[in-house]
Chains A and B, each alone.
Chain A
Amino acid sequence: MTSRAAVRDVESAAVLAAAQDGDRAAQAAIFEAYKERVARQVFRMTGDASSVDDLVQEVFISAFSALGRFRGDAQLGTWLYTIAANRVRNWWDSQRRRRRREDIASAHADDPVATPEADLEARQQRDHLYRALGELPDKLRESFVARAIEGMNLHEASAALGVPISTVSYRTRRAEQMLCAALGIPWRDE
Chain B
Amino acid sequence: MSPDFRPAPGEPAVRSPELLRLVQAARVAPPPVLKASSDAVFAGFQARRRDRRRLVVGAAVAVAAAVALLWARPSFMSSRTGTLEPVATNSMQAPHVAPLPVLAEAVRVVAEEGPPAGVRGEWQVELGDGRYDVTVAAHAGPELLRVDTAGGTVEIAQGRVVIVVAGARTEAVLRTGVATWIAPGGARTPLAVAPAEASLDDAPDPKASPSDLARHADALLAAGRRDAAIRVLDLLVTTHPDSPPARAALLDLARLLKAASRADEARCAYALYLARYPGKEQLADEVEAALSRLGPGPACTDLRPR
- Taking the complex as formed, is B84 at the interface, i.e. its CB lies under 8 A from any CB of chain A? no
B45 touches A64 (CB 8 A): yes
Q: Note all chain A residues with C-beta closer than 8 A to B16.
A: 176, 180, 185-188
Which of A31, A186, A187 is close to B41, meaning CB atoms less than 8 Å apart? A31
A28 touches B42 (CB 8 A): yes
Indicate whether A65 sits within 8 Å of B41 (C-beta atoms), given known contacts A36-B34, A98-B183, A169-B2.
Answer: no
In whole angstroms, what is the CA distance A151 to B13 when docked? 8
Indicate whether A98 sits within 8 Å of B1 (C-beta atoms), given known contacts A27-B41, A176-B16.
Answer: no
Which of B15, B35, B168 is close to A176, meaning CB atoms less than 8 Å apart? B15
How many A-B residue pairs lie within 8 Å, measured between CB atoms?
A: 179
- Taking the complex as formed, is A159 at the interface, i.e. its CB lies under 8 A from any CB of chain B? no
In whole angstroms, what is the CA distance A154 to B8 when docked? 10
Indicate whether A102 sits within 8 Å of B211 (C-beta atoms), given known contacts A126-B25, A165-B7, A185-B18.
Answer: yes
- Contact code string A120-155 (vs B, CB < 8 Å = 1, else 0): 001101101110000101110000100111010110
B49 touches A65 (CB 8 A): yes
- Taking the complex as formed, is B91 at the interface, i.e. its CB lies under 8 A from any CB of chain A? no
In whole angstroms, what is the CA distance A149 to B202 when docked? 45
Indicate whether A148 sits within 8 Å of B13 (C-beta atoms), given known contacts A22-B46, A61-B45, A128-B22.
Answer: yes
- Taking the complex as formed, is B244 at the interface, i.e. its CB lies under 8 A from any CB of chain A? yes
- Taking the complex as formed, is A43 at the interface, i.e. its CB lies under 8 A from any CB of chain B? yes
- Contact code string B11-49 (vs A, CB < 8 Å = 1, else 0): 101111011011101111101101110101110111011
Q: Which of B94-102, B128-136, B184-192, B296-304 contacts A (4 or more CB under 8 A)?
A: B184-192
In whole angstroms, what is the CA distance A84 to B201 when docked? 43
Question: How many residues on B have C-beta within 8 angstroms of the other chain's C-beta atoms?
Answer: 56
Q: Note all chain A residues with C-beta closer than 8 A to B31.
A: 36, 39-40, 43-44, 49, 52
Interface size, A (range): 35 or more
Q: How far is the CB of A70 from chain B (nearest CB, A)?
A: 15
Q: Which of B7, B40, B248 has the most CB of A within 10 A?
A: B7
B48 touches A43 (CB 8 A): no
Query: What residue of chain B has the Cβ atom nearest to residue A139's Cβ?
Result: B1
In whole angstroms, what is the CA distance A79 to B73 when docked? 50
In whole angstroms, what is the CA distance A147 to B15 when docked? 12
Indicate whether A56 sits within 8 Å of B36 (C-beta atoms), given known contacts A97-B168, A166-B2.
Answer: yes
- Taking the complex as formed, is B5 at the interface, i.e. its CB lies under 8 A from any CB of chain A? yes
- Taking the complex as formed, is A9 at the interface, i.e. its CB lies under 8 A from any CB of chain B? no
Q: Note all chain B residues with C-beta closer than 8 A to A44.
A: 26-27, 31
Q: Note all chain B residues with C-beta closer than 8 A to A188.
A: 15-16
| Sample of 5 more A-B contacts, CB < 8 Å, known A58-B44, A126-B29, A148-B14 | A49-B31, A53-B36, A65-B52, A99-B252, A166-B6
A–B pairs, 18, beta carbons within 8 Å: A36-B31, A39-B31, A39-B34, A53-B34, A56-B36, A60-B41, A61-B45, A61-B48, A64-B45, A102-B248, A126-B25, A148-B23, A149-B27, A167-B2, A169-B2, A170-B2, A171-B2, A172-B13
* B residues apposed to A, CB below 8 Å: 1-2, 5-7, 10-11, 13-16, 18-19, 21-23, 25-29, 31-32, 34-36, 38, 40-42, 44-46, 48-49, 52, 151-152, 168-169, 183-188, 211, 214-215, 244-245, 248, 252, 281-283
